[in-house]
Amino acid sequence: MSEGLDSTDLAILNELQANGRLTTAELAQRVNLSQSPCWRRVNKLESEGVIRGYHAEVNRRVVGLGAMVFVMISIDYQSADRLQEFQDAVVKIPEVVMFHSISGSEDFILVVLAKDLEAFSDLLHDKLHRLPGLARLQTYFSLREIKGRVAEIPIEL
């Protein structure tokens, strides 16, 4: 169990992950609390940064983003400034929806969404290949999304 979180807090987190639109009354009933203590706990979880926000899960294909691409990147570490310049440039690319520093033979992995392969090709040539400090870039296209929702963190009660 996480430090500072009890089983009721974890139950609240599980319920809100499954449905962030629950009213305080509905949530309180599901976690066996009265409404006021439930509201105080949710407020505390928000203020402490345990709950970082509430979001709608959008079907990327329905909004025209049919291509998901994993981009593995190695950079030329010349200086801390160069590293920061690279990171700042990547963060500014709206098609990059996830950006992680990783261990292993590559330095970073990006998850990129694009309309289609042609749109990704344009992004690759116009933005990704022009990133500062880029040494090597490899792309992997998602052929089928088997489990893609990252909104639910597995919390054990």
Alpha-carbon span 113 to 68, nearest angstrom: 5
Q: Which residues contact residue 18 at a Cβ distance below 8 angstroms, ignoring those fewer than 6 apart?
A: 152
Q: Sketch out the chain's domains with CATH numbers.
A: 7-47 (1.10.10.10), 67-141 (3.30.70.920)
Please say whether the beta carbons of 65 and 114 come within 8 A: yes
Alpha-carbon span 117 to 124, nearest angstrom: 10
pTM above 0.75, yes or no: yes
Q: What is the mean pLDDT of residues 52-62?
A: 89
Please say whether the beta carbons of 117 and 125 come within 8 A: no
- Strands (DSSP E) contained in 61-115 are 67-75, 96-101, 108-114
pLDDT in tens, 82-138: 899 999 999 999 999 999 999 999 999 999 999 999 999 999 999 999 999 999 999
**Tokens encoding 28:** 């309180």
Alpha-carbon span 99 to 10, nearest angstrom: 27
**Tokens encoding 66:** 């049919």
Rg (CA), the chain: 20
pLDDT of residue 3: 67
pLDDT of residue 1: 47
